[in-house]
Amino acid sequence: MKVGLIGLGNMGYHFGSRLLAAGHELVVFDNSATALERLREKGAQIASSSCDLADQVELVLLCLPMPSIVESVVCADDGVMHGKAVRTIVDLSTTGPSVTDAVAKRAAERGIEWVGSPVSGGTIGAEKGTLTLMASGLDSAFKAAEPILQVLGKNIFYLGATPSLGQTMKIVNNTLCAVSIVASCETLVYGAKAGLDPQTMLDVINVSSGRNFATQEKIPQCIVNREFPTRFTTDLLHKDIKLCMEEAEKLGVPMTVSPAARQFLAFAISQGDGPRDYANIIRHIEGWAGQEFGKAVSK
């Protein structure tokens, strides 16, 4: 199958690599010449613009960092929706419900079906094909995209015909992620300063009621060993919780805990953590507490 992919960053590169490895013909576009070259070397064809790409393929995948960029890539004068061949757009980005509904409506006016399918699982999941995909859109569009989604992820959920339902699910999930990482970091630093061994704390929590993604995956993989690899940036997690709070406000749903997590992420960004993995937020708590988490506490 011939597929188009726009956005070749940390996630998009792995998407492109998996599609090529699965035998699909791939046309790609990105503003970065370096990103294009990495996939060209693997066999991808390079388009000259978003519209040029959409002139060549019926199914276009988007993997872009911000809602405004998704809107521009699709709706600009040289955007995807003006392509002659495109019939289905699959948005793997976290775009948010409002922008998704607006852009999907404009695409539909040109006879193009939309699947909103944000993902969860980070760069490791993208590389291994173990992502969770939260898809929504017309059933016909989902069925057209499903064979491609199966190459990219392991857990594929179809959430309904409204294009934005997948986006709603994603920002709900990532807001819970943001709240849990902030709460986990501050409590674990407290425990370490009080004399508990960091690894023992995680072992206890992860078979007890406090366990969550941060304690089970993020902190053991990224913080205990003090390596802090970049898998999902603080900027992106802040964007997602901001989207969730804005959409909840539109529906009249109160949020009292999530704003505190958002505020802490905003502080971390102001200290230069925006492009760094969000695991780095623990460093601020450690600095204030005078206690590093991840080194054994002397008994």
Return the active site residues: 170
Angle at 265 between CA 261 and CA 267, to 5 degrees: 115
Which two three-digit tokens encode residue 255? 């949020």
H/E stretch holding 54 reads: helix 50-54
Nearest to 27, CA basis, from 50, 49, 7, 47: 47
Residue whose tokens read 């450690």: 286
Which three-class secondary structure string do you get for 11-28?
A: HHHHHHHHHHHCCCEEEE
Q: Are 116 and 223 spatial neighbours (Cβ–Cβ below 8 Å)? A: no
CB atoms within 10 A of CB 190: 14
Angle at 14 between CA 8 and CA 15, to 5 degrees: 75
Euclidean distance between CA atoms 28 and 114, whole angstroms: 19
Compute CA distances 11 → 18, 77, 90, 205, 271, whole Å.
11, 26, 15, 30, 25
